[in-house]
Amino acid sequence: MKRLTKETVIGFIGTGVMGKSMAGHILEAGFPLVIYNRTKHKASELIDRGAKWADTPKELAEASDLVITIVGYPSDVEELYLGKDGILHHLRQGSVAIDMTTSSPTLADTIFTIGKEKGVSTLDAPVSGGDIGAKEARLSIMVGGEENTFNLAKPLLELLGTNVVYQGKPGAGQHTKMCNQITIASNMMGVSEALLYAKKSGLNPENVLKSITSGAAGSWSLSNLVPRMIEQDYAPGFYVKHFIKDLKIALHSAKEMELRTPGLELALSLYEQLAAEGEENSGTQALIKLLEA
């Protein structure tokens, strides 16, 4: 694919919490959209708006010029791309595949290599911003792969995010996302402890937020997730189970580089405890429930 036009058929796999909104932005921009999801009813709204349904990833790949995927786990990515009926076996030469799942940097490099052999260009482009960022098209998108492929796909990615940055070679997008998740991991412990401290000391949590969100303590989690904690809203913008997956990938990569990450290790242990108490399908802000118990 030499350039992106409004005739370029976009395939989108994974219409979950974030993917549904992301695919919707592509549809609104006027691109022909083909979608697939393991659970069809989660794609019904997009189908009603004009997206075409594919019964299998293979069917979607054969019908698309550029495919975007955002699924759950590295094992899902591996099966989706490299399995018996994986999309790399069915995409036409010259097409592009962009995996926006948070996954393994090593797997991203493997997918790039096999794609190259088959004449398919690939990018690893994980995102940050949660359900809010996906709905408002304000995601931060971190991209690894060949720069000419990035330049070709950038206009499409800019429909989904306001901060689209090329990070370098294949796998670089995933490594950047690990930096993001390591930062969030310790920050989530901090904002949870701060809110509990505010409550215990008799402060009004909303007033505390007014003071600290615009100061040195300010962060996305503080501004967007602490209000949910105050309201005891633990619906998932990002699932605990998926955060655990991300933290395990980050910890594995850090150990391979012989890097000490005590904050990451503590956060992972706390989130695993939280999941063991039945909160794996809650949002990451549910960490406060474990600390206040």
Catalytic (active-site) positions: 177
Q: How far apart are CA 41 and CA 21, in angstroms?
A: 15
Query: How much is the CA Rg of the chain, to the nearest whole Å?
Result: 20
Terminal Cα distance for the chain, rounded: 55
Report the half-sphere exposure of 195 (CA within 13 A, side-chain side): 26
Structure tokens at 7: 């005739």
Going by DSSP bridges, is the β-strand pair 121-124/127-128 parallel, antiparallel, or unpaired?
unpaired
Element (H, E) at 127: strand 127-128
Both structure tokens of 61: 């790949």
CA dihedral sign of residues 28, 32, 37, 42: positive
Residues in the chain: 293
**How many Cα neighbours within 13 Å face the side chain of 59?**
9
Burial of 219 from C-beta contacts in 10 A (0-12 / 13-18 / 19+)? middle
Contact 36, 54 (CB under 8 A): yes
Secondary structure element (H or E) that encloses residue 122, with its range: strand 121-124
Coil, helix or strand at residue 291: helix
